[in-house]
Amino acid sequence: MHPEIGFDTKETEAFIRQFLISEGIELLESSVGVIGIIRGKNDERCTALRADIDALPLEEENEVPYRSKVKGKMHACGHDGHTAMLMGAAHVLQQNRQELCSDVILIFQPAEEGPFPGGAKLMLEELESHRLLKKISSISALHLTTEYQCGKIAGGFGPMMASTDEFDIAITGVGGHVGLPHMTSDALSVAAKFITGMESFMSKQINPFDSTVFAVGTLNAGTARNIVPKKALISGSLRCQREETRGFVLEGAEKLLKALCDFSGTSYSINIRRGLPVLVVNNKKTEEIEGLARELIGKENVIRLKHSNMGAEDFAFLAEKIPATFVWIGARNEEKDLIHMMHSAKFDIDENALSVGASLLSTVAALPR
């Protein structure tokens, strides 16, 4: 009911801190988000659990008692549920801390939805400052989704979510009269050839089983029907499931652009903003969590995904440094009309999913390290 976005999550963080203190859970100093630690029998090795806490800049359309009270902001991606699941797990683990084999780190992270680079990268630095990074043997995160029925858990191996890169291209030629094309260098023509050339590149140079998206979102050129455009501006996005493919596509795009400009007598500039890395989970740890999920809810309710997701998660920064697991918690319920997808103004979840997620996090954290 009180969503906050980006790094502006101070009230949410205060609420979480108050809860952890009331549970008797130790807090670690952090300049971003909230970090708690539950002491187990061994402080040489530990496990970490992460929940994102930020919302989205979106006006909620749900007519429910718990709808957002903040105009233009809502929890349209389930992060309030992620926070609730980790708080529930924290309560269970703290109550049973005498039985924990090792310490458990609780990470409540802002800015998963941005601004770039998001909160995960900064919280990674906080863990480093506390000299915890080398001690953490695994880190786990959950994500609620209405793609799967409430009571289901879905997970996969290897790459789980895509990298995110953005590009802006400016092509500069020589403008002039359409009746004198030989005295011009048409920037729009070059831009069109680049776009179609990249479509050919993606279909012929990329393995069809290597999920990759090169998408042009905008093309702006020209001011009148009878003027050859001097300048063309292109912007778009690249999403990949492999870091090797990421570099190959960006290199190929610039090679094609340079060749077209050299041939046509135009020039170009390209600005590439490297975004989030590919989220790659640890297969051994994922096998562990899959086995635990089968024990908790029955093997018929555990889905092994055949394909990765072309969405993105800044949890990828944590997964680069720590063996990670990332699973989807089903929260769909057609009878209650809980069917709308994430980032929709009508997104909502079946709250019975929360106990599933909290139980899984508790069980994962209790594993011997």
Catalogue the active-site residues: 54, 112
What's the rounded Cα separation, in Å, for the pair 16 and 36? 10
Residue entry with tokens 């390209």: 270
Neighbours of 65 (CB within 10 A): 6
* Residue 304 identity: R
Q: For 265-309, where are the alpha helices, taking DSSP H only?
A: 283-297
Radius of gyration of the chain, Cα coordinates, nearest whole angstrom:
24
> ∠120-125-131 over CA atoms, to 5°?
125
Residue entry with tokens 């106990």: 355
Q: How would you label 163-189 residue by residue, b for 16+ Cβ within 10 Å and e otherwise?
A: bbbebebbbbbebbeeeeeeebbbbbb
Q: Could you tell me the two tokens for 264? A: 């046509």
What's the rounded Cα separation, in Å, for the pair 315 and 278? 10
Residues 6+ apart with CB under 8 A from 259: none
* Residue 14 identity: A
* Residues 171 and 187: beta-carbon distance below 8 Å: yes
